[in-house]
Amino acid sequence: MNFSLTSDQQAHVDTVARFVRQEILPQVMALEKSHAFPWEILQKAWQIGILNLSIPESIRGFEVDVISTALIIEALSYGDTGISTSAMCNDLANTVIARHGTHEQKEAFLRPFVEQPLLAAFCLTEPGAGSDNAAMTTFIKKGVDGAYLLNGTKCFITNASYASQFTVFCKVGKPASQFMACVIVPCTPTLPETLDPDLSEDRQISCEKGGNISIGRPEDKLGQRLSNTASVTFEDVLIEPFQIIGDRRQGFKYIVDVLDYARPMVAAIGVGLARRALDVTLNYTKQRRQFGQRICDLPVARETLVAMWKKVELARLALMQAAAKVKEMAPDQGLYASLAKNTAAEAALFCTTEGLHLHGGYGFMSEYEISKLSRDAHIIDIYEGVREVQNMIIGREIL
């Protein structure tokens, strides 16, 4: 196996690393403290081509392979995982269109993201349906003239407050149905600068074809404060047959397909965060002196730093294996996607926890980046399937 990056892949990494150094790291702590949505950064990311990586060449004009996508997300996550989560969510929402939509649907629902910086939202989780997707109650019911009406509530939706398009998974016919569909709900493009900055109240969005979308106030989260998260309620939203992706009874299959793609990308977020925590801790322990020497020269501290480094490297290996499996559409891609997701989440949690410990009392102060990284790390162990769900998938596959 060749672990060397191609010239294109190395160019992607170098471009994003430079972007992170210039645009994110100098202001990330100030933005995080103010809970400011980093719209200007996301606009610049769109301008240099590191958003909407799953859009196919037929629409975008060039292709970004899965391994390059993972490398881009890891490099972006080194700057901030909230920003990379918002960016990745566009692909989470749009990859099902790219993989299962018709050419006409790709033109209608993906082309706008190429032409201007827009955000998409992936609507799967519900208040009563987290890891158990079959428990969702959002549904479409056939109305007049062959159209459907969409009703239901989704929660913990990334980019919800600013989304110009929603990819919604729902039941077919009634909430208790065994069949699921994937529907696309475009709305009037929302630009963050046009909204009230505090977004303290629920707001209504009128749909192009009929019905209403209600966006809840943004969630006040433990970490990843630079990504937007809110609930979304659909009320009699008119869905034309053209807005249904693929077979309206195969939605669960599409969920599995999307998550097999997304979990290595979540792993990339975890690797980027773990790598940042290691570097921040290395820099601190090289400068801070105790007992007459640098902390990094104390045997017990060095042992911890070595353990952190090993976690990062093993997580990156698992990530690259998973990305390669997804790229070649291997039958066992789900197995390695789950392995990468869990391994990277473990690395992120370990490196931030131990990094904070090596910072001592300073690590507990909010002005130090390691405290931010520690808060950001916990969601990586949760979103796109908690570790227990990943272990269930791994267990099912190996047995």
Q: H/E/C letters for each residue in the chain?
A: CCCCCCHHHHHHHHHHHHHHHHHHCCCHHHHHHHCCCCHHHHHHHHHCCCCCCCCCHHHHCCCCCHHHHHHHHHHHHCCCHHHHHHHHHHHHHHHHHHHHCCHHHHHHHCHHHHHCCCEEEEECCECCECCCHHHCCCEEEECHHHCEEEEEEEEEEECHHHEEEEEEEEEECCCCCCCEEEEEEEECCCCHHHCCCCCCCCEEEEECCCCEEEECCCCCCCCCCCCCEEEEEEEEEEECHHHECCCCCCHHHHHHHHHHHHHHHHHHHHHHHHHHHHHHHHHHHHHCEECCEEHHHCHHHHHHHHHHHHHHHHHHHHHHHHHHHHHCCCCCHHHHHHHHHHHHHHHHHHHHHHHHHHHHHHHHCCCCHHHHHHHHHHHHCCCCCCHHHHHHHHHHHHC
Determine whether 193 is an active site residue. no
Catalytic site residue from 367, 384, 388, 397: 384
- The residues that are catalytic are 384
